[in-house]
C-alpha cells in the first residue's frame, strides 16, 4: 500500500512537470532563493532582490522620476519606494541592469531569454493557460482567475514602474524581463494578470521597472 502511494505521488509530480527539490541559489548580497524544476528548466521561485552586480559593483537605487527616465545604465527601486514591498516582491529593475555585462543574476544563473520563457509557457499549456499554473494563490486581487500554482513558480503580483517613474498594478500584475532587446528602446517581457489565466509575451520600454526571475544555467 505504501509503495502504491509512493508510485502515485511520483506519477502526479511527473504529470505536472515539477520536480519538488530543495535546491537554492545565492546572490552577491547573500540573499538565498528557492528554485523549482519545471520540465527541463530550473527556475528561481522568488523574485530577484540583489543590489550588487556579480563583480561587487553596486546597482544604484533611483527614486527620482526624471533621473529614472533618463538613465541608460542599470538601476533598481522598490515598488512605491517602500522597503516592505521588497520583502515580498523583490526589487524592480530597468532593462539596462538586465543587460549589464557585470552580471545581475546569481552565479550559475542567468536572466531568461524570450525563447526560454516560451519553453516554460508552452510546457504549461501555452499563453492562454500557463499563467494559472504560474500564479501564487495568495496576494493577488480577486478573482485571481484560474490560479493553482501547479508549477510551483509562485508568481506574485509585484506591479511595475513605468518609464517616467510612476507605479502601477501591485496586486494585479506580474511583469518580468526577458534578456532580449527588440530595438533601441524596447525589450521583451512576460505578463501575468489577476483577471485571466494568460502568460503573455509582450514588449516594454527599457526604462520601465520590472521584476526579474532567474533561470539556472544548463
Q: Is the peptide bond before 143 cis (omega within 30 degrees of 0)?
A: yes
Element spanning 77, H or E: strand 76-77
| DSSP annotation of 187 | E
Neighbours of 24 (CB within 10 A): 11
Query: What is the distance between the alpha carbons of residues 210 and 176, in angstroms, rounded to a whole number?
Result: 6
Instruction: Express each pLDDT in 137-183 by its tens digit.
Output: 999 999 999 999 999 999 999 999 999 999 999 999 999 999 999 98
Judged against a pLDDT cut of 50, whether residue 13 lies above it is answered with no
C-alpha cell at position 89? 516582491
**Whole-number percent of the chain with pLDDT over 90:** 88
Residue 22 confidence (pLDDT): 55
Query: What is the distance between the alpha carbons of residues 7 and 89, in angstroms, rounded to a whole number?
Result: 36
DSSP lists the bridge partners of residue 204 as 187
pTM score = 0.90
Rg (CA), the chain: 17
Residue pair 103/125 in contact by the 8 Å Cβ criterion: no
**Whole-number percent of the chain with pLDDT over 70:** 90
C-alpha cell at position 66? 526624471
Instruction: Express each pLDDT in 80-122 by its tens digit.
Output: 999 999 999 999 999 999 999 999 999 999 999 999 999 999 9
Amino acid at each position: 500500500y505504501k509503495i502504491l502511494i509512493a508510485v502515485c505521488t511520483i506519477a502526479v509530480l511527473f504529470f505536472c512537470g515539477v520536480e519538488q527539490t530543495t535546491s537554492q541559489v545565492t546572490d552577491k548580497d547573500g540573499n538565498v532563493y528557492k528554485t523549482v524544476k519545471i520540465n527541463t528548466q530550473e527556475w528561481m521561485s522568488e523574485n530577484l532582490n540583489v543590489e550588487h552586480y556579480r563583480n561587487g559593483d553596486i546597482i544604484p537605487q533611483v527614486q527620482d522620476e526624471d533621473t529614472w527616465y533618463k538613465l541608460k545604465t542599470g538601476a533598481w527601486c522598490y515598488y512605491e519606494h517602500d522597503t516592505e514591498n521588497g520583502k515580498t516582491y523583490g526589487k524592480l529593475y530597468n532593462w539596462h541592469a538586465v543587460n549589464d555585462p557585470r552580471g545581475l543574476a546569481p552565479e550559475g544563473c542567468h536572466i531568461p531569454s524570450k525563447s526560454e520563457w516560451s519553453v516554460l509557457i508552452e510546457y504549461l499549456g501555452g499563453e492562454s493557460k500557463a499563467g494559472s499554473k504560474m500564479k501564487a494563490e495568495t496576494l493577488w486581487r480577486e478573482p485571481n482567475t484560474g490560479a493553482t500554482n501547479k508549477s510551483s513558480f509562485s508568481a506574485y503580483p509585484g506591479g511595475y514602474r513605468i518609464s517616467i517613474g510612476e507605479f502601477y498594478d501591485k496586486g494585479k500584475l506580474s511583469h518580468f524581463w526577458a534578456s532580449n532587446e527588440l530595438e533601441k528602446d524596447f525589450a521583451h517581457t512576460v505578463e501575468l494578470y489577476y483577471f485571466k489565466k494568460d502568460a503573455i509575451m509582450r514588449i516594454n520600454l527599457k526604462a520601465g521597472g520590472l521584476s526579474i526571475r532567474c533561470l539556472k544555467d544548463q
